[in-house]
């Protein structure tokens, strides 16, 4: 039996929730194992972060995810802010163990009504799992969660002119490690402006505003949250990644390689956890 990686439940949960927002994964009843395989294939680069269906089930059934399970169990009076993920269990003939199946749809929506029963619509996602994803071998590296966005909140469309520029795009999108401004950071000028009895808060300093590209009408924390919201949009359907690219509505998606699309989604997902 292969040794399983010890993967943080927070990462597993976020990976699952982000995957559930992709249109190509929606409207299908799929087992936890199938979901895990899809996430590994489409979203995970670092082999140390690979997990399987059992780990996904354990994560969802953990004590801290009780509220998530309650939402998944709803079938009537679905609220508009419902997560859009549902769960059913099935004990196969000859088995003593129940298998969990998950269904994703648009937030606030119920599973599509069909003439067949839900378990007759179970999908093994073979079409998605067999789909070839082009990844340049030199860029198949583990992604550190200590990477941050550069000052620009979005990529310039000019950086996406050709698929052959994958490495340039990869490096341009995320380049500044947290350690470069935390471990060796100089004392902020905020310390010089605040009185001795005023609690020091780095996020109120001019350096923090510059580092996180804060706009005039927002504070540093609001800027960070706004950038996180943009990062999350990268997982919204097949073309969600275009929302994190400056001028994305004018970008020809055919000019972007599958690896670049994959890298953008992966980086955005990792950064939402940073």
Residue-wise pLDDT tens digits, 70-86: 999 988 888 888 889 99
- Rounded distance, CA 142 to CA 272, Å? 16
Residues 169-216 pLDDT 10s: 444 444 334 333 334 444 444 444 444 454 557 777 777 788 878 888
The arithmetic mean of pLDDT across residues 73-101, rounded, is 88
Is residue 154 pLDDT above 90, yes or no?
no
- In eight-state DSSP terms, residue 122 is B
- Rounded distance, CA 192 to CA 190, Å? 5
Residue 234 near residue 263 (C-beta atoms within 8 A): no
Count of alpha carbons within 13 angstroms of residue 99, beta-carbon side: 17
Residue 49 near residue 145 (C-beta atoms within 8 A): no
- State in Å, rounded, how far the first CA of the chain is from the last one: 32
Query: Three-state SS for 89?
Result: strand
According to DSSP, the β-strands at 147-149 and 85-91 are unpaired
Q: Provide the whole-model pTM.
A: 0.52
Helix, strand, coil percentages, rounded to 5, for the chain = 50, 10, 40
- Rounded distance, CA 121 to CA 135, Å? 32
């Amino acid at each position: 039996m292969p040794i399983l990686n010890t993967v943080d439940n927070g990462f597993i949960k976020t990976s699952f929730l982000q995957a559930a927002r992709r249109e190509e994964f929606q409207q299908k009843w799929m087992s936890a194992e199938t979901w895990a395989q899809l996430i590994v294939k489409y979203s995970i680069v670092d082999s140390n972060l690979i997990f399987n269906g059992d780990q996904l089930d354990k994560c969802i059934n953990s004590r801290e995810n009780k509220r998530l399970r309650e939402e998944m169990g709803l079938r009537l009076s679905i609220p508009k802010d419902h997560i859009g993920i549902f769960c059913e269990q099935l004990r196969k003939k000859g088995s003593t163990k129940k298998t969990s199946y998950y269904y994703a749809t648009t937030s606030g929506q119920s599973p599509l009504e069909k003439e067949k029963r839900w378990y007759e619509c179970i999908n093994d996602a073979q079409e998605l799992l067999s789909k070839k994803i082009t990844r340049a071998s030199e860029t198949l590296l583990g992604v550190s969660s200590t990477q941050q966005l550069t000052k620009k909140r979005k990529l310039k469309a000019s950086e996406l002119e050709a698929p052959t520029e994958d490495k340039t795009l990869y490096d341009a999108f995320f380049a500044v490690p947290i350690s470069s401004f935390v471990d060796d950071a100089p004392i902020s000028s905020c310390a010089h402006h605040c009185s001795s009895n005023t609690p020091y808060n780095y996020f109120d300093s001019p350096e923090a505003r510059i580092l996180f590209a804060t706009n005039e009408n927002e504070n540093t924390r609001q800027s960070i949250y706004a950038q996180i919201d943009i990062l999350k949009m990268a997982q919204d359907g097949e073309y969600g990644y275009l929302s994190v690219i400056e001028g994305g509505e004018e970008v020809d998606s055919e000019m972007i390689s599958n690896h670049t699309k994959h890298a953008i989604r992966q980086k955005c997902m990792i950064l939402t956890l940073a």
